[in-house]
A and B are shown apart, each in its own frame.
Chain A
Amino acid sequence: MTQRLVTIKNRAGIHARPAALLVQTAGRFAAKVFLEKDGERVNGKSIMGIITLAATYNTAIRIIAEGVDEKEAVDALARLFENKFEED
């Protein structure tokens, strides 16, 4: 299992478009992907799940991946957070 803590840096938080971006990225990997906020864990390959997190600006999110390509998956997802989901 690989995990990493990231914070949301785009002002709008994770709305529909970033959620779709996360899901599409996570979908490219075989590993199981989860996102966790305040102990609440959702499937990283489900749009509705991610939106339900209500992850706003500056929230800390833990990215968790489990499987053969877990490291790459976490790297790729963390990069999206880093790039503010290509927003702002």
Chain B
Amino acid sequence: MKKITVLDLLQLDLKENEALNLKCIAGRAGLARELKVPEINRPGLELSGFYENFAFQRIQIFGRGETAYLWKLEREGKRDTLEMFFASEVPCCVFTHQQQPTGDLLALAEGSGCPVLQTDLSSSEFTTRVIRVLSNIFAPKQSVHAVLVEVFGIGVLLMGDSGVGKSEAALALVERNHRLVADDLVEIRRVGGNILMGTGTGVSSHHMEIRGLGIINITHLFGVGAIRDKKQIQVAVKLEEWDPAKSYDRIGAEENFIEILGVRVPHLVIPVKPGRNIPILIETAAMNERLKKMGYYSAKEFSRNVMKWLETESARAIFLDET
């Protein structure tokens, strides 16, 4: 995995309830320090001189309490605990509530090359956000050659060999008012234990390559309503060339799954051949998936009804035989 530095954290493009509002106020030389764990520490104990089990590799957060204590130390002219603090390679210090660090701390941070950051968020808000952001960055991830679309609110990952028509199917879905998340390369992260979050990879995500047309920009052609930045993957659909020798699922009473990053995802194989309207099949699959989530499983329900019906037919037959 690529190293995550403090500078990366500052440069993340985060919006709304994920924004960290960080700025660097000292120790710029240390911006290349690496963040090794997605965790934080409130250094109250350390400032008062207790350094056993100091989690120095974590982001150090100075809230109102810690900052007030720093100012008390400054007034009393005590620097020894702070010197010990900066003797460890701390990735960075963050002052919440836009608080001003003491002169001693700034000098020691500059001296040891430890970045000092400031945010206007409260300590608890900053803590929840930074942990969320870092866990996403540190989450297990995988890139797949596929297209991710949102269809009726369901995240559908379209897989299949090159040239089978993944992009064309996605284009038709966008044209039918669904949304494109990523074309060609989908980056999947496992977040919160078992949620697979799919995103595009930077500049190329909302563009599509369609054979015969070249590269098209979906946002410009269909508007911002036609795109999404990320979406949970809830169904995986594999498109493949119709193979007459292969038997395809005709009832759908058995659920198939594939594993992505250790998470089971419902999996459908849709054979492609002229005359099959793939986008409509994908739409139907997405709606069927929604029904399943609501507890209504069409194929199983049908199967049960047939069984019930056959039972009444048998009963009738016995009755008719006896009379």
Contacts and interface: CB of A to CB of B under 8 A. Distances in A.
A20 B306 CA distance: 13
B313 A54 contact: yes
B250 A47 contact: yes
Interface in A25-41: 27
A64 interface: no
B250 A15 contact: no
Contacts of B313: 13, 54, 56
B306 A16 contact: yes
A88 to B, nearest CB: 14
Q: Which of A15, A17, A20, A23 has the most CB of B within 10 A?
A: A15
Interface of B: 247, 250-251, 253, 299, 302-303, 306-307, 309-310, 313-314, 317
A51 interface: yes
Interface residues of A, number: 19
B251 A13 contact: no
Contacts of B314: 13, 56-57
Q: Which 7 A-B pairs have the closest CB atoms?
A: A16-B303, A56-B314, A13-B310, A54-B313, A20-B250, A24-B247, A15-B306
A58 B310 CA distance: 12
Given A54-B313, A56-B310, A56-B317, A15 B303 contact: yes
A12 interface: yes
A17 B251 contact: yes
A57 B307 CA distance: 12
Contacts of A55: 310
11 contacts: A15-B303, A16-B253, A17-B253, A19-B251, A23-B250, A24-B247, A24-B250, A54-B309, A56-B310, A58-B317, A59-B317
A86 to B, nearest CB: 14
A16 B247 contact: no
A19 B313 CA distance: 17
Contacts of A54: 309-310, 313
Contacts of B247: 24, 27
